[in-house]
Every structure is written in structure tokens, then in C-alpha cells.
Chain A
Amino acid sequence: MIDLAGGGVPISWYLILSAILFGIGATGFLIRRNIIAVFMCIELMLNAVNLSFVAFSYMWRQVDGHIFTFFVMVVAAAEAAVGLAIILTIFKNRGTLQLDRINSLKN
């Protein structure tokens, strides 16, 4: 096991935290009905992935992981801007944020 920053926090701890965060995000995505909550869960999953990127990057002393992280953050920011705009419009038009009710394209 490579010693990280002398602090002695092993890589596996980072990965376990990342997995827990990702699991929470995935579970929330599956079970929540509110669009805002689902949206937040997606952000959570993205950031869980970011965490493992950074951990690996730090472990190998390479910047690739950091760069990926920045990319993910940029995409997430863009997604948040567009997604929140869509959510706002949906709420204005339909008066609800329940995912299951927004099904007018079905059938």
C-alpha cells in the first residue's frame, strides 16, 4: 500500500467513501420522485466519481485525474444550468415536480 501524504489514509478508504456516495446517489436516483432530488442525486454520483479520480491521481502522482475532474465539473455546471432551466419551465407549465406525472410523451 502506498503511503499517502504521510497521513496514512489508505486509498481504499477514499474508494469506499466514493462507492458509498455513488450508491446513495444511485439509490436516490431510483427511488425519489421529485425532479430536484433526482437532479441532486445525479450531482452526487458525478462527485463520487470525481473523488475517486482525485484519489487515483494523487496515488499515481499524475495530473490526468485532476484534469478529468475539471472536465466533469464543467459538464456538471453546464448540465445544472440547462437542467435547472428545464425544471423551472416544467414547474411553470405543469405546476408539479413529480416525475411520474410528466409523461405526456408516453402513448
Chain B
Amino acid sequence: MQLWLIPLIPLIGFAINGIFGHRAPKRFVNFVAVGSVAISFALVLKAIFALWPLETGYVEQGFTWMQSGDLRIGMDLAIDRLTSIMLLVVTGVGLLIHTYAIGYMQHEEGYARFFSYLNLFMFFMLILVLAANFPLLFVGWEGVGLCSYLLIGFYYERQYATTAGNKAFIVNRIGDMAFILAIFLIFAQFGTFDFAAVMEQAKGLSPETTFGAISLITLLLFIGATGKSAQLPLFVWLPDAMAGPTPVSALIHAATMVTAGIYMVARSATLYQLTPCVMELVAYVGLATAVFAAVIGIAQNDIKKVFAYSTVSQLGYMFLALGVGAFSAGIFHVMTHAFFKALLFMGAGSVIHAVSGEQDIWKMGGLRKKTPITFATLMIAGVAIAGVYPFAGFFSKDEILLAAHHHAPWMYWVGTATAAVTAFYVFRALFVTFFGSYRGEAHPHESPKSMTLPLIALALLSMGGGFLNVPHYLEPMFPLDHGAGHDMSLVLISLGAGLLGITFAYIFYVAKPELPAQIASSLGGVHRLVLNKFYVDEIYDFLFVKPLMKSSRSFFWPVMDVAVIDGAVNGVASQARAVGRVLRAWQSGSIRTYASWVVVGSVIILLIVSVAGGVR
């Protein structure tokens, strides 16, 4: 079994496209970029079939990365059932999105650069999910963050794109710092970094009733996850990340990278099960994020922003699942969400492509007939996210909500209400885009085949993906709580919530389009609050960014940087020059002077020797 080939192939693709791509024809770039991901996908399938049924993990030792005393950190890759799902999602959805990007990026500058970054992302993401120890996971974690930064700022000549890239990178630093502290603490606590060894030791411990060492570890891990997976309070970077090209939004900021936090928490499930109070916090944060982002989503007018807030909200659902102990439901939702959210983004990209770059849904409209395939697939994605039976979202969302009900009934009700809001705002965006009459100036047209075929493939997955029984598949790792049972009435209520949301959206935006404006004006301040995303960015700006800028201008720049650091650097240089000025005079080039110094030196040495009494 050669697991190391799975991430290596995209890395080679990155190297080829990065070095030769800008001179090569586009067909060559396509071949390398899509081909490398396709090979990776095939290798993943081969590995899973070879190791089937994969009930226990398989670890492949690579070369030793660091060695110190007894500690060995190796480039060890591991595959188990959890990893296999992540691998299939990353390479499978990744392959579809790479194919889609061929069509989407056709007329863009920096074609090869785009695909080389995308391949680099695949490499780091595969390292992240295949890693068998925390440091290697961290390598992948930082690597995908780097690629995210590079791709958000892909249109680097536009100010807002580079700003958004910086914002994503800096906000993620906060979470990453907590994550790396957690890794140190894990070593202090368990003396090893390997997942298997840590979890084995953790199994022998009893749950912490108070906030102890393990609680601190899981809390810090969770803070790391809130950065990468865009949870309260660190979610602010994700909506801005939509400045990147749409395939990037679909691949990195919806389907794969942002689910890394969920994967990491699920990977550390044994630790989390020891710390009920942190689990409770995870559930609260997840639920709060789900509600908060869903409410913001109602008032967004940029089609990608709507889906971005929807992603934040759905990630909140996943953390809710983890928090209430339904790890397998969370991973299930990661998978189905990857299908329908990637589809939503790619459909949005297809729409944006159709109307020549316009992203405001109020400048679209009536696209139903002009872009029929995009319309049909986006509708499928919409009902899937709304949780309508038998589409994919229904099954995973249902698992989460039932687990939440089992944990605390009020969480179920809040989650169900959020599901209704989710259905409402997604269909608001879809109805405004596709119904009514066209309000823009471009000439809408359907996208090329390389874009529509991946849309159709993902639409099929969004329809049928729910029937893959992921929680059952993950049972060897995360035992199911059969006591919970499937209460039919709860299932029907959450299903009804989704349908209710769709109905309201239909009434508001198709049947009676004058209603929303009336309601908005009657709500007044609340509407303004939602429209401005609860002023979260402004609050952060006031609390963190402005004070930092101010202290930098008044203190850190003129004092620390200019006076201390530059002063030290320049001081060393000018001292060296001053010493040189003195020494330079000695090298006159006159032999006689040199000889005089030799004589003077010899005389001095002789005097010293004779005064000191000589050598005996």
C-alpha cells in the first residue's frame, strides 16, 4: 500500500504547472491539473478497496521527520473509515471542481497559476486528512491556510481581494495559535503525538468533571477549529473569502478546507468524550453560529455572500452534532454539505459566468429559461440544503437534529427553526435569480459542458448522497446511540420546517414581490442590523484593528521598528565601518612601515619576555 502517493501526485502537478505552466498551452495545464487529481482519486479508491472493510486503522510509516530522544515524529500516514470518507470527498469533489474550473477560468489571466495553487491545496488537504500524528496534521492545516490565502488573493491587482486574503490569514492565525498550544499540551500530557497512541492512553482515563488538563487541550483544539471552520467569533473571514474565484469558494471555502476543523475535532473524539463541559461549549457555539449566520444570510444581496453565510451556518450545524456527541452525524453532514454546497457555489459561478460577472441577485432574474441546466441543478442543491426528503441534506441534518433533541430538546427546536430560515434565504436567492424577468444588461447564456457536467454529477450526488449510511459505516469508530430511536414526529417537523421556509420564500419573492420591502420597512432598525451583518466587522474593527493600527503608528513602528530593530541593525553596520576606518590606515602598502611594525612588535615581545623573566 502506497498511501504517500495520494498526496504526492497533486504536489507533482503543482510543481509542473508552477514551473512550466505559464509557457505551456492551456490543454497541457488542464491535463496536468485535472489528471493529477484524477490519479489521486483512483489511488484513494484503490487503497480503500485494498484495505476493505477497513474496520481498524491502517498506519503507514514514512521517513522520520524529527527525532529527539525517544520522541519520533514521522511522515506517517494513516487511513481508517473517517479518513476514507474525507479522502473520497476531497478527491472526488475536488476532481469535479477542477473540471469545472477549466470552463470557469477559461478567459482569466494567470490560468496556470490558478491550477498550480489548486493542486497545491489538494496536496496539503490530503496531508491533513491522511496525517497520523498532530504535527503532520498541523502541516496540512497551515498549508491549506496558505493556499486559501493565495487563492482568495488570486485577483491580486484588486485591493479588496488582497485585503480579504490578509483577513483570512490573520484571523486564522488566532485559531492556529490555540491549535499549536493544544499540540504542545498533548505532548506534555501524553508524551507522544501519534493519534493512535494518544487515543489509546485517553481511553484509560475517566471523564473530567471539572476543567482540567484534558479540558484545556480540547478547548484549545476547538478554538483552532473555530478559526479554520469559521465559527463564532472567528467566522468573519469566510464571507470576505468570496473575493476569490468561484471554484475556490466551492472547493476550499465550502466543501473541504473549512470542514478541517470538524475533521480534527472528530479525530480527537476520544479526548472530547472525556470533557463534557467543552463538548457543551462546542454545541453552544455551533448552534449560535448556525442561527447567527442564517439570520445574516436573509439580507445578503450578493449571491456568493448568501451561500458563504449559509456555509458558516451549516458548519455550525456540524459543530452542534459534534458537541452533542453525534460525531458520525457531523461527518455525514460534512459529506452531504460538500455535495450540495459545492453545487450551490458552482451553480452560482455558472450564473455569474452567464451574466458576465454580475453577483448582485437583484441585477439577475428570469434566468430559468436562459440557463436551464444551472437552474435545475441549483434547485436540487436548494432542496437538498433545505432538508427535503429524499435529498442528501435531509438525512444528515435529521441525524444532527435528532441527536440534539436527545441531548437537549430546546437545541432541536432552535436547530429546526434555523433549518426553516436556511430554506428561506437559499430559496430567496434562487427565486430572485431565476424567476421574474431579467433586470441586468448582459446577454445570459448557458455555461460550457466542462462546467455543466460537474454540476450534473454533483446534482446526482446531492439527490442520492443521503442514502449512503455514513453513521453506520463509522460505527466501529463512533458507536451509535441506539437508545435515541427515530421519532417520526420530530422527523416530520424538521421536514415541515424546510418546506415552510421554501413556501415563504415563494410567497415573498415570486407570488407577492412587494411584501419583503413592506416588512423590511416595518422592521426598521432590526432590518438595518441584519443587513449590516450585526456590525460584527465594525465591532472587530473598533476593538482590535483600530487600536492595533494606532499603537503601531505611534509606538511599534517609530519606537520598536525604527529605533530598536533598525537601530540595532544599522548600529552594527556603522560600528563595523568605524572600526574599519581605523584599521584601514594600517594597510598603507609601504613595506618599510610594515617592517617597522615588525621590529616594534619584536622589541615589545622581547621586553615583555625579559621583564616577565623569560621562559624556563
Q: A: which residues have CB within 8 A of B? A: 26, 29-30, 99, 103, 106
Contact B599 A30 (CB under 8 A): yes
A30 x B595 contact (CB < 8 A): yes
CB distance from B195 to the nearest CB of A (A): 71
Decide: B595 and A106 in contact? CB cutoff 8 A.
no
Which residues of B does A touch, CB under 8 Å?
589, 591-592, 595-596, 599
Pairwise interchain contact B599-A106, C-beta atoms closer than 8 A: no
By a CB distance below 8 angstroms, the chain B residues around A99 are: 591-592
**Chain A: CB-nearest residue to B593:** A30
Min distance, Cβ A22 to any Cβ of chain B, angstroms: 10
A30–B596 contact, CB under 8 A? yes
B204 to chain A, nearest CB (A): 82
Contact B589 A106 (CB under 8 A): yes
Residues of A within 8 A of B592 (CB): 30, 99
Please, how many angstroms separate the alpha-carbon atoms of A106 and B591 in the complex? 11
Q: Whose C-beta in chain B lies nearest to the C-beta of A106?
A: B589
B601 to chain A, nearest CB (A): 12
Find the B residue at minimum CB distance from A107. Answer: B589
For the complex, give the distance between the alpha carbons of A29 and B592 in Å.
Answer: 8
Taking CB atoms, residues of chain B closer than 8 Å to A26 are 599
Q: How far is the CA of A103 from the CA of B599 in the complex (A)?
A: 23
> Is B589 touching A29 in the complex (CB atoms < 8 A)?
no
CB distance from B587 to the nearest CB of A (A): 11
Report 6 cross-chain contacts, Cβ distance below 8 Å, ordered by A residue: A30-B595, A30-B599, A99-B591, A99-B592, A103-B589, A106-B589
CB-nearest residue of chain B to A27: B599
A38 to B439, CA, bound (A): 103
Which B residue's beta carbon lies closest to that of A23? B599
Known: A30-B592, A103-B589. 8 other contacts (CB 8 A): A26-B599, A29-B595, A30-B595, A30-B596, A30-B599, A99-B591, A99-B592, A106-B589
- Residue picked from B589, B592, B596, most chain A C-beta under 10 Å: B592
Give every chain A residue within 8 A of B589 (Cβ-Cβ): 103, 106
**Closest Cβ–Cβ distance, residue A50 to chain B (whole Å):** 18
Q: How far is the CB of B254 from chain A (nearest CB, A)?
A: 72
The residues of B that contact A106 with a CB separation of less than 8 Å are 589
Q: How far is the CA of A26 from the CA of B599 in the complex (A)?
A: 8
Q: Give bound CA distance, A86 to B596, whole Å.
A: 24
The CA-CA distance from A26 to B595 in the complex, in Å, is 9
In whole angstroms, how far apart are the Cα atoms of A99 and B591 in the complex? 10
Complex-state Cα separation, A26 to B592, whole angstroms = 11
A106-B587 Cα distance, complex, nearest whole Å: 12
- The distance from the CB of B425 to the nearest CB of chain A, in whole angstroms, is 82
Give complex CA distance A81, B502 in Å.
Answer: 112
Top 5 nearest A-B pairs by Cβ distance? A106-B589, A26-B599, A30-B596, A30-B592, A30-B595
Chain B residues, CB < 8 A from A103: 589
Question: In the complex, A106 Cα to B589 Cα: how many Å?
Answer: 7
- Of all chain A residues, which has the CB nearest B596? A30
With A and B bound together, what is the CA distance between A106 and B466 in angstroms? 88
B502 to chain A, nearest CB (A): 91
Chain B residues within an 8 Å CB radius of A29: 595
A14: min CB distance to chain B, Å? 18
* Chain A residues whose CB sits within 8 angstroms of the CB of B591 once the complex forms: 99
With a cutoff of 8 Å between Cβ atoms, the chain A residues found around residue B599 in the complex are 26, 30
Rounded to whole angstroms, the CA-CA distance of A26 and B603 in the bound complex is 12
How many whole Å from B237's CB to the nearest CB in chain A? Answer: 63
